[in-house]
Structure 1
Amino acid sequence: MKLIGSTTSPYVRKVRVVMAEKKLDYTLVLENVWAPDTGIATINPLGKVPCLIMEGGDTIFDSRVIVEYLDALSPVGKLIPSTGRERAEIKTWEALADGVLDAAILVRLENTFEGRSQYQRSPAWIERQMSKVHVGLHTMSKGLGDKAYYGGIHPGLADIAVGCALGWLAFRFPEIDWRGQYPNLGRLHDKLMQRPSFADTQPVA
C-alpha cells in the first residue's frame, strides 16, 4: 500500500499512527497539495491528503474512511469497536478531534494564505473558528475525565485522533495553553508520545 500525504498533516499522521499500531506495511509518498505542480487531483478529486492507494491500484481518501478500512484489515490491536453505542462514541470523539483541526486549519489559512491580502482577512471569522477549537478542547477534556483513555484502559482510535489534534495544535498554535488548562489532556498526550507510533510521526516543517 502507498499512503499519499505530508509530514505536517494531522490527518495523515492519524493514518500513519494507525498503520503503526496495526503493524501494516506501507510506503509514504510525500505530496505538497499547495504546490503549483501538485497532481493530487488525479488521486483525490477534492485535492486533499491523506489518500491510500491499495494493492491493485484502487484509492480511498479521507482519514476517517482510511482508518476504518485499516482497522478491519487485521485483528491485531483493534482500535474501533465493531458495533453499537461504543463504536458510535469512539467515532464521535474522532469527529470532534477532526473538527477541532478543521477549525484551527481554517484559522491558519486565513492568517497565512498568500492568495488573500491583509485587508481580506476577517478577525470575526478567525474568532468564530477559534471558539470551536476552545469549546472542542473543553469537551475533549471533560469526556476524558480521570480515565486513562477514552475507551478505558487501552488506547483506541479516539485517543489517536485526539492525540494527533493536540500534537498539531502544539506544533502550529503553541500559544494555546491546552496543557495548562486541561492537565488530563496533557497526561494523555504524554502517554501517547511514549508509543513509537506517535514518537516517530511528530509533525515537522
Structure 2
Amino acid sequence: MKLYGSLTSPYVRKVRVLVREKNLACEFILADAWAADSPIPPLNPLGKVPALVLDNGEVLFDSPVIVEYLDSLKAPPLLPASGEARWQALRWQALADGVLDAVVSRLLESRRPAAQQSAETIPRQEAKIARALEYADHHLSNGPWLMSDRFTVADLAVAVALEYIDFRYPHDWRGRHPRLGEWCAGIGARPAFVETRPPGMEQK
C-alpha cells in the first residue's frame, strides 16, 4: 500500500499514527495537493490528501474511510465494530475532525490579505474550537483513555486535533483545560505521535 500526503496535514497524520500504532506495511509518499504536477487529483477527484493506494490499485480517500479500512487489516481494532462503543468512538472522531476543519478554515482566512479577510470567519472558527475543547474536557474520563480500557480511534483522533491546535492556532487552551492538557500529553508521548509530528510543531 502507498499513502500519499503531506507532513503538515493533520488528516494525513491521523492515518500515519494508525499505521505506526498497528505496525502496518504502508509506504508514505510526500505529495503536495496544490502543486501543478501533483499526483493527488488523479487519485482523489476532490484533490485532497490523504489518498491510499491499495495493493490492487484501488484508491481510498478521506481520512475516516482510510482509518477504518486500515484498522480492519489487523487486530486488535481501534474502532469498535458495533454497538454503543462504536457510536461513541465515531462521535469523538467527528468532534476531532470538526476541530481540524475549524483550525484549517481559521488558518486559511488568516493568510488572506488583511483587507480581504472576513470579519466573521476567524471568530466563528475560534468559537467552534473553544466549544469543542469544553465538550472534550467535560466528557474526559478519569483514566488515560477517552473510552473503555484501551487506546482507540477516539484517543488517536482527539489527540491529533489538540496537537494541531498547538501547531496552527497556538493559545493557552491548557490553562483553561488543564486536565485535557495532561491527557493530551500522555497520548502525545506515544511513539506513533512523536514520530509523526510535523516539522516546526510547538512542543507543549
**Could you say whether these structures have the same fold, taking a TM-score greater than 0.5 normalized by the shorter chain as the test?**
yes
> Quick check: 1:204 aligned with 2:203?
no
1:78-97 aligned at under 5 Å gives the runs 78-97=77-96
| Partner residue of 2:114 out of 113, 118, 124 | 118
**1:133 corresponding residue in structure 2:** 129
RMSD (Å) for aligned C-alpha atoms: 1.3
**1:11 corresponding residue in structure 2:** 11
Ranges of 4+ aligned residues in structure 1 off by more than 6 Å: none
> Quick check: 1:73 aligned with 2:73?
yes
Give me the whole-angstrom Cα distance separating, in 1, the residues matched to 2:199 and 2:44: 24
Query: Which residue identity lines up with residue 2 of structure 1 in the other structure?
Result: K
Aligned positions, number: 200
**1:154 corresponding residue in structure 2:** 150
**1:22 corresponding residue in structure 2:** 22
* CA positional deviation for 1:106: 0.4
1:171-190 aligned at under 5 Å gives the runs 171-174=167-170, 176-190=171-185
Structure 2 length-normalised TM: 0.93
> Quick check: 1:194 aligned with 2:189?
yes
Query: Which residue identity lines up with residue 122 of structure 2 in the other structure?
Result: I
* CA positional deviation for 1:171: 1.1
Give me the whole-angstrom Cα distance separating, in 1, the residues matched to 2:162 and 2:39: 30
- 1:144 aligns to what SS in structure 2? coil
Query: Which residue identity lines up with residue 70 of structure 1 in the other structure?
Result: L
* CA positional deviation for 1:155: 1.3
* CA positional deviation for 1:125: 1.4
1:40-59 aligned at under 5 Å gives the runs 40-59=40-59
Give me the whole-angstrom Cα distance separating, in 1, the residues matched to 2:185 and 2:95: 20
Instruction: Please list the CA deviations of residues 112-138 of structure 1 after superposition, one character each: whole Å capped at 9, or x if unmatched.
Output: 1xxx43222112111111111110111
- The unaligned stretches of length 5 or more in structure 2 are none
Q: Tell me if structure 2 keeps the 8 A contact 1:179–1:186.
A: yes
